[in-house]
Amino acid sequence: MGFPVMRVRERFPSLAVRDEGRERVYLDNPAGTQVPQTVVGAIGDYFLNHSSNSGGMFATSQATDRIAETAHEDMALFLGAASAREVVIGQSMTSLTFHLSRSICRDFQPGDEIVITRMEHEGNVGPWLEVAKEKGLRIIWVDFDRETWQVRPEDLAEVLSDRTRLVALNYASNMTGAINDVRTLAEVAHEADALVYVDAVQLAPHHLVDVQELGCDFLACSSYKFFGPHMGIVWGRETLLTELHPYKGRCVTDELPGRFEAGTPQYELLAGLSATVAWFEELGRMSGGTGSRRDLIAQAYAAAREHEEAMTLQLIAGLQALDGVTVYGITDPARVGERVPTVSFRHARVKPLEIATALGGQGIFVWHGHNYAWEPARALELPLDEGVVRIGLAQYNTTEEVTRVVDAVAAAIAGG
Ligand SMILES: Cc1ncc(COP(=O)(O)O)c(C=O)c1O
């Protein structure tokens, strides 16, 4: 059964929105995806029927408690976590990482080391740099390989020492799209007794996450990148989350995950988060899947992935056929499974801003700039004020849209 892309598109109302009669082509997905009607409905339903705060002895408050609990359970299922106690939900991946980094590094000593890869988005860099400054920790960088675009286990092993306390590791790059072999890298880090904090923000929209199989200690993602509301989620191993000092008010619960979720949560978005997980289950069924909820989610990813990989190959081939275009990332069709469908490129003469502006003017939404992939951009010696053009595909895009964007890039280059 082929991927039912047109049926998928019908579930996302914003895909049908037109600007003065013109269709929109959403290829800005790595910065945020569109959401299915069911997510919009769940958020609206919360405000219409359940809006309250937690812990009261009345209907709306009891519903609110149930919604918050269910969202944590659904995310535990989605990430393959052992329990909902391991799932901390907050404003964004970046804000959660700043918050948790303070707890994680609380007992680190001056001279202890944090290893950060050059593949990271700033969300998995800034928090560690700040805490390192405060506590006198050393930051050690590990580069990615220019041929594979991935961090090599042997390069990580080389920078580890008996002072390494934590490794900040990118799962999939928001610039090059390359996917790291996190399982092997986590094993290498653990041999040095270091904790592993994985940024799965760009992986989660495209591949099933299984935190237990990965063997990392923390894993962060953002639901607005996988068809949900603007929120961040961090999974942490229960033993660690229990031991860590939580920064919270005195009368806030000491139970997990509440001890790391001080303040009033965005309840309406938690309702939307459960609807997001339900969307993956529905997509699994639409793609012919059966079995448990987790089986359906896995089948949704498998079906979408095949569709996305075919479009990725079409996009890369189309861009590479244009004179003067350099794609930054894996281009070998045999290795398409080692990347997510985020394709960044530059042209020898026409600047990213000019190309993105030309495309935007035709209703084709793409990003330009460094996109907070500041370290990868610096590692590749790209002009930071220019960056790249980034085309990011998602499950609801079509081969026709890929043809359109390639043609539009060709025209922008010819006219630039
Ligand atoms: C790889 C990666 N990590 C982290 C982030 C930051 O996520 P958030 O906006 O939830 O803080 C992003 C956002 O684009 C990202 O692409």
Helices 126-135 and 93-104, interaxial angle, to 10°? 30
Nearest ligand 1 atom to the CA of 171 is: 1
The whole-number pLDDT of residue 53 equals: 97
**Cβ atoms 261, 90 nearer than 8 A:** yes
Closest residue (by CA) to atom 7 of ligand 1? 93
Strands 388-392 and 138-142: unpaired
Q: What are phi and psi of 346, to 5 degrees?
A: -130, 155
Residue 68, both tokens = 């918050």
- Residue closest via CA to ligand 1's atom 14 equals 31
Q: Which atom of ligand 1 is nearest to the CA of 95?
A: 11
For residue 265, report the distance from its CA to the centre of ligand 1, in Å: 20
Please count the other Cβ atoms lying within 10 Å of the Cβ belonging to residue 49: 11
- Predicted local confidence at residue 123, as pLDDT: 98
User: Edge-to-edge strand order for the sheet containing 367-369?
Assistant: 325-328, 342-347, 388-392, 367-369
- In sign, the C-alpha dihedral spanning 398, 312, 185, 128 is negative
**Relative to the CA of 232, which ligand 1 atom is closest?**
10
Tell which atom from ligand 1 comes closest to the C-alpha of 172.
1
Give the distance (Å) from ligand 1 centre to CA of residue 311. 23
Predicted TM-score of the model (pTM): 0.98
Domains detected in the chain: 5-35+299-415 (3.90.1150.10), 40-277 (3.40.640.10)
The predicted structure's pLDDT at residue 271: 99
Q: Are 194 and 167 in contact (CB under 8 A)?
A: yes
Quick one: residue 21, left, alpha or beta (phi over 0 = left, psi -120 to 50 = alpha)? left
Name every protein residue with a CB atom under 6 angstroms from any ligand 1 atom.
30-31, 92-94, 121, 123-124, 174, 199, 201-202, 222, 232, 372
pLDDT for res 2: 81
Residue 299 Cα to ligand 1 midpoint, Å, equals 25
DSSP β-bridge partners for residue 90 = 232
What residue's CA is closest to ligand 1, atom 4? 123
Give the position, in ligand 1's atom list, of the atom nearest the Cα of 97. Answer: 11
**Digitized pLDDT (tens) for each residue of the chain, 416 residues in all:** 689 999 999 999 999 999 999 999 999 999 999 999 999 999 999 999 999 999 999 999 999 999 999 999 999 999 999 999 999 999 999 999 999 999 999 999 999 999 999 999 999 999 999 999 999 999 999 999 999 999 999 999 999 999 999 999 999 999 999 999 999 999 999 999 999 999 999 999 999 999 999 999 999 999 999 999 999 999 999 999 999 999 999 999 999 999 999 899 999 999 999 999 999 999 999 999 999 999 999 999 999 999 999 999 999 999 999 999 999 999 999 999 999 999 999 999 999 999 999 999 999 999 999 999 999 999 999 999 999 999 999 999 999 999 999 999 999 999 87
- Cα 416 to ligand 1 centre (Å): 31
Ligand 1, residue 372: give the atom nearest the CA: 14
CA–CA distance, 240 with 120 (Å, rounded to integer): 23
DSSP conformation letters of 218-265: EEEEEGGGTTS-S-EEEEE-HHHHHHSPP---TTS--STTGGG--S--
Cα distance between residue 342 and residue 29, in whole Å: 9
pLDDT at site 412: 98
pLDDT the model gives residue 283: 98
234 within 8 A of 93, measured Cβ to Cβ: yes
Ligand 1, atom nearest to 173 Cα: 1
Q: Which of 219, 221, 222 to mutate to test the pocket of ligand 1 (most atoms within 8 A of CB)?
A: 222
Ligand 1 probe mutation, 33, 176, 202, most atoms within 8 A of CB = 202
Ligand 1 centroid, distance to 54 Cα (angstroms): 29
Report whether 343 contacts 329 (CB < 8 A). yes
Helix/strand/coil for 24: coil
Beta-carbon neighbour count of residue 306 at 10 Å? Answer: 12
How many Cβ atoms are within 10 Å of 106's Cβ, its own excluded? 12
To test ligand 1's pocket by mutation, which of 121, 221, 231 has the most ligand atoms within 8 angstroms of CB?
A: 121
